[in-house]
Amino acid sequence: MAKPMTKTQLVAALAEEMGSDKKTASGALDAIVSVITREVSGGGAVTLPGVGKFYLRERPERMVRNPATGEQIKKEADKVVKVTIAKALKDAANG
């Protein structure tokens, strides 16, 4: 498995793809992350065409096990961010 692309590498690739400088690309990337974070944390969902859908899911209260001791513990209800990958990206990854 290849190493994940760093933010610096992503900004450089984005700048090249956009035909602009790295400062503009970095601003665009930061703006996209900000919009996704704000929308999902507010309970909404964001779909990036060709990439996937980001959304918030609520998990109910449940019993979990401490792996070190084996003790059963009640875990309070919480929320988790989920990502559903778009079919186009799955197909591209599988050749």
Contact 22, 29 (CB under 8 A): no
- pLDDT tens by residue, the chain, 95 residues: 789 999 999 999 999 999 999 999 999 999 999 999 999 999 999 999 999 999 999 999 999 999 999 999 999 999 999 999 999 999 999 98
Say how far apart CA 48 and CA 35 lie, in whole Å: 12
CATH class of 45-95: few secondary structures
Per domain, the residue ranges of the chain are 1-42, 45-95
**pTM, to two decimals:** 0.79
**Confidence at residue 2, expressed as pLDDT on a 0 to 100 scale:** 84
Looking at the DSSP bridge assignments, the partners of residue 63 are 74
Question: Cα Rg for the chain, rounded, in angstroms?
Answer: 18
